[in-house]
Structure formats: C-alpha cells, structure tokens
Amino acid sequence: MAYSDKVLDHYENPRNVGSFAKSEAGVGTGMVGAPACGDVMKLQIKVGPDGVIEDAKFKTYGCGSAIASSSLATEWVKGMTLDQDMAIKNTQIVEELNLPPVKIHCSVLAEDAIKSAIADYKAKRQKGA
C-alpha cells in the first residue's frame, strides 16, 4: 500500500504522543475502536479555565493511517474551543492526509475519539459541579 507523504510524516514523527492522568482536572479521555478490529485510539484533551483546549495527547494501536489520523487530530484540537472541536469532520482528515477509501475508517475513528474525549470532559465536569 502506498502511503501519502503526510501519513508517512505523522507515522515517522507522531505529534503529541503520551498520556495525561485521567483524574487530572480539565482532562477528557476518549478511547475508541477495538483490538479485534485492528484499531484502538486513545485521545486526551486538556481544557483550560477559559474553555480552550490547551493540550492534547494520543496513543494509537493501529495501522499507519490510524496513527497519522490521531496524530493530526491532536494537532488540530489544540487551541480550539470545545464547539470548534466538535465541528471537526472525518472528511477533513481524509482530505488533509490523502487517505485512500480503505482507510477512511481511520478518520472516522479519529473523529469519534475527539467527540468521545469531549463527552468525557463534560461528564466529568458535571459530576464535579
């Protein structure tokens, strides 16, 4: 399979790899996918008091496109508000990374991971409030 240069770049030099402590204030964690399907993405956001995402981290078990999709997602969400973040669509990821049709599910998973991280952040805040 031929990968685009952008996928290769993210794969070789993934951005924002790592983890925040799940209990840390302002952290939302999204974990999507399943090992049996060959992809699991964990995407975490750290939201500041102003509601802007200060930082993001990811870990991904999956193919090169899955790693690139989640790496790109962490780059994009930083500096966004939650609403802007919610508006990220998988098709934007497909376009940016030039993903072939068989790899579109990787971008869908990255979008799900973002949404899931936001949902987790919101749920935690509600519980805390």
Partner 1 sequence: MRLPIYLDYSATTPVDPRVAQKMIPYLTEHFGNPASRSHAFGWETEAAVEEARREVAALVHCDPKEIVWTSGATEAINLALKGAAHFYREKGKHLVTVKTEHKATLDTMRELEREGFAVTYLDVAPDGLLDLARLEAALRPDTTVVSVMYVNNEIGVIQDVAAIGDMCRTRGIVFHVDSAQATGKIDVDLSKLKVDLMSFSAHKTYGPKGIGALFVRRKPRVRLEAQMHGGGHERGMRSGTLATHQIAGMGEAFRLARLEMDADNARIRKLRDRLWEGLSSIEEVYLNGDIERRVPHNLNVSFNFVEGESLIMAIKDIAVSSGSACTSASLEPSYVLRALGRSDELAHSSIRFTVGRFTTEEEIDYTVALVQRKIAKLRELSPLWEMHQEGIDVNSIEWAAH
Is 106 marked active-site?
yes
Catalytic annotation on 63? no
Q: Does 59 interact with partner 1 (rule: CB under 8 A)?
A: yes
Cβ-based neighbour number of residue 9 at 10 Å: 16
- Which residues, 89 to 118, sit near partner 1 by CB under 8 A? 101-102, 105, 108-109
Interface residue with partner 1, options 24, 38, 84, 122 (CB under 8 A): 38
CA separation for the pair 129, 123 (Å, rounded) = 10
Q: How far apart are CA 23 and CA 20, in angstroms?
A: 8
Catalytic residue among 8, 25, 37, 86: 37
Closest by CA position to 50, among listed 30, 21, 20, 80: 80
Say how far apart CA 49 and CA 46 lie, in whole Å: 10
Q: Residue 32, interface with partner 1 (CB under 8 A)?
A: yes
Q: Which residues bind partner 1 (CB under 8 A)?
A: 1, 3, 11, 14, 17, 19, 31-42, 59-64, 66-67, 101-102, 105, 108-109
